[in-house]
């Protein structure tokens, strides 16, 4: 009797969850017809040459993260959530990328960054080098370096930029400019003696030396730029934030000095400094806003640290000054960190902020000349389920208790990670804890200090010239090949000067016909 009553109550409640308009079949038919009209319009392909390229990378932003972030975004705007659209959802072409590394089924961010930036799959933990390089083995590096789409764009005369919420020497951004047998060699202070003796260079030094004319570099990572024990400008009394370099160099100064005579190179470490810049008078911009990674968006100090969107806005306005166009890498780098910590709320708010940056970039550019691609390096063992009703708070409980241990559970769970919790020999009762807290660690099936990456494919969203080249299930290293083809940069340019892709309607045949008629 009691069970029947509860069932009746659930059915009554879920009936009221359905928005009135969705009860009308015409609503769904109309929506599908609009989608169909949009799809038919896409038959006329955008085959322009992409003047600008933007690659948005959500570190660890698997498909389950994308869906949960969409619901969160909708709920932040007071909707039920499921029906809302992320900016990336509006991209017309979507593909899947296979993320495995050459030596790993479940990949890491360094091997994958080498794939989607350099166009070559590589071993986990290695950056900007082929799979001939073994992690940690400095002496295997020489001759195995592979270059990135950022360098191809620079060589074609475009402006280039890197924006990230991690340290600028972290795996994703560093594959754009560095070559290293180990992703953790941030400065020489992190390198083992044999690697230093073998002549391998730390990643921060490579940032300054390898491609000295990167117009925009924004993110965290100050401490790797300064000599050991030099105190940090923002946290002068905190030992852990001090410089790490053994070679005694000041790489911020070296970065400034390496710029051509007469060019203006600005370094900023503070949000106000960034927003006060007169960008028309700045040729090169380096912004390092934290000693290590930037702070989670939910915890960010709005006085001292810019948001990802603010950094992207500055970067695009800087890069747009180059008449030959630009390449920009934008990383939402801490989605991954939130997940590793089992803190789904941090991870999803990072994903929503990346999406905000995508929307902003869309408004600052045109699909006629800008190819934008949104993807992830890999997924996580993050999931949500439990037959939650429509509009259930994304960080909320499933509507039933476990029929095994008779306890409630949150919809969001991890396959493994730090949220595994046994109390008095049993799974913790989540109704006794604040599971909506920003730092709540969702329960996991297996205890691990750090939750792990997931191995399934990730989505690739594309919009703009040649976006249709991203259309099926691809190897991840295909992405920069398609982007470079669209922009006529890199090695694959045979098609660029032929009549196959006229940027404007051909004028000569028309003039010829006119002449014949007139004569």
Q: Which residues make up each annotated binding site?
A: 59, 170, 172, 331, 336, 340, 377-378, 453
Give the total of residues touching Zn ion (CB under 5 A): 1
CB of 131 to Zn ion, least distance (A): 20
Does position 341 interact with Zn ion (CB under 5 A)? The reply is: no
CB of 157 to Zn ion, least distance (A): 35
Residue whose CB is less far from Zn ion, 107 or 291:
107
Q: Which stretch binds Zn ion (CB under 5 A): 12-20, 112-120, 330-338, 417-425?
A: 330-338
CB of 136 to Zn ion, least distance (A): 18
Residue whose CB is less far from Zn ion, 124 or 336:
336
Enumerate the known binding-site residues for Mg(2+). 59, 170, 172, 331
In contact, 173 and 116? CB cutoff 8 Å: no
User: Of residues 109, 148, 307, 309, which has the active-site annotation?
Assistant: 109
Residue whose CB is less far from Zn ion, 335 or 412:
335
Return the residue nearest Zn ion (CB atom). Answer: 336
In contact, 287 and 300? CB cutoff 8 Å: no
109 is catalytic: yes
Q: How many CB atoms lie within 10 A of CB 408?
A: 16
CB of 347 to Zn ion, least distance (A): 11
The correct pick among 310, 336, 350, 451 for binding Zn ion (CB under 5 A) is: 336
**Rounded Cα distance, 16 and 245, in Å:** 62
SS3 assignment for 251-313: HHHHHHHCCCCCCCEEEECCHHHHHCCCHHHCCEEEEECCCCCCCCHHHCCCCCCCCHHHHHH
CB of 336 to Zn ion, least distance (A): 4
Q: Which stretch binds Zn ion (CB under 5 A): 213-221, 279-287, 329-337, 500-508?
A: 329-337
Exposure b/e, 168-188, CB count within 10 A at least 16 = b: bbbbbbbbbbbbbbbbbbbbb
Does position 215 interact with Zn ion (CB under 5 A)? The reply is: no
Q: Which stretch binds Zn ion (CB under 5 A): 188-196, 297-305, 332-340, 497-505?
A: 332-340
**Rounded Cα distance, 460 and 462, in Å:** 7
Residue whose CB is less far from Zn ion, 215 or 336:
336
Cα distances from 383 to residues 305, 333, 415, 431, 439, in angstroms, run: 31, 19, 8, 20, 17
**Rounded Cα distance, 227 and 205, in Å:** 12
Q: 405 exposed, middle or buried (CB, 10 Å; 0-12, 13-18, 19+)?
A: exposed
Q: Which stretch binds Zn ion (CB under 5 A): 50-58, 187-195, 336-344, 409-417?
A: 336-344
Sheet with 444-447: list strands edge to edge: 382-384, 412-417, 444-447
**Residues designated as active site:** 109
What is the contact surface with Zn ion in residues (CB under 5 A)? 336
């Amino acid at each position: 009797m009691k069970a029947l009553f509860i069932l009746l109550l659930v059915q009554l409640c879920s009936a009221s969850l359905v928005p009135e308009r969705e009860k009308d079949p015409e609503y769904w038919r109309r929506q599908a017809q609009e989608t169909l009209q949009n799809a038919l319009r896409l038959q006329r392909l955008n085959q322009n040459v992409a003047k600008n390229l933007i690659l948005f990378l959500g570190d660890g932003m698997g498909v389950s993260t994308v869906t949960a972030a969409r619901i969160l975004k909708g709920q932040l705007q007071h909707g039920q959530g499921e029906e809302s659209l992320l900016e990336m959802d509006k991209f017309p072409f979507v593909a899947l990328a296979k993320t495995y590394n050459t030596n790993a089924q479940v990949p890491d961010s360094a091997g994958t960054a080498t794939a989607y930036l350099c166009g070559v799959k590589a071993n986990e933990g290695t950056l900007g080098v082929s799979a001939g390089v073994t992690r940690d083995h400095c002496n295997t590096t020489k001759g195995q370096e592979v270059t990135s789409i950022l360098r191809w764009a620079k060589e074609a005369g475009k402006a280039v930029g890197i924006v990230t919420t991690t340290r600028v020497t972290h795996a994703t951004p560093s594959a754009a400019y560095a070559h290293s047998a180990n992703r953790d060699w941030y400065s020489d202070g992190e390198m083992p003696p044999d690697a230093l003796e073998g002549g391998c260079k730390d990643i921060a030094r490579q940032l300054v030396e390898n491609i000295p004319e990167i117009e925009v570099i924004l993110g965290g990572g100050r401490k790797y730029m300064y000599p050991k024990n030099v105190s940090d400008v923002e946290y002068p009394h905190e030992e852990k934030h001090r410089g790490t370099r053994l070679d005694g160099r000041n790489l911020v100064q070296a970065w400034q000095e390496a710029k051509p005579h007469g060019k203006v190179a600005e370094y900023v470490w503070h949000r106000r400094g960034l927003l006060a810049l007169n960008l028309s008078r700045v040729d090169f911009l380096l912004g390092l806003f934290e000693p290590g990674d930037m702070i989670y968006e939910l915890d960010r100090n709005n006085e001292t640290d810019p948001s990802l969107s603010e950094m992207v806005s500055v970067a695009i306005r800087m890069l747009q000054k180059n008449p030959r166009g630009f390449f920009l890498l934008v990383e939402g780098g801490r989605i991954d960190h939130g997940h590793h910590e089992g803190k789904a709320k941090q991870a999803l708010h990072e994903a929503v902020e990346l999406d905000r940056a995508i929307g902003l970039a869309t408004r600052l550019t045109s699909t006629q000349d800008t190819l934008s691609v949104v993807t992830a390096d890999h997924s996580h063992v993050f999931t949500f389920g439990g037959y939650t009703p429509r509009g259930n708070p994304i960080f909320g409980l499933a509507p039933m208790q476990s029929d095994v241990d008779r306890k409630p559970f949150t919809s969001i769970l991890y396959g493994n990670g730090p949220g595994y919790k046994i109390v008095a020999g049993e799974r913790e009762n989540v109704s006794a804890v604040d599971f909506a807290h920003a730092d709540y660690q969702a329960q996991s099936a297996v205890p691990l200090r750090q939750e792990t990456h997931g191995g399934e494919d990730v989505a690739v969203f594309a919009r703009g010239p040649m976006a249709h080249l991203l259309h099926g299930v691809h190897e991840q290293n295909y992405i920069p090949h398609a982007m470079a083809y669209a922009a006529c940069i890199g090695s694959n340019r045979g098609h660029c000067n032929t009549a196959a892709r006229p940027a404007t309607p051909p004028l000569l045949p028309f003039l010829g016909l006119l002449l014949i008629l007139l004569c």
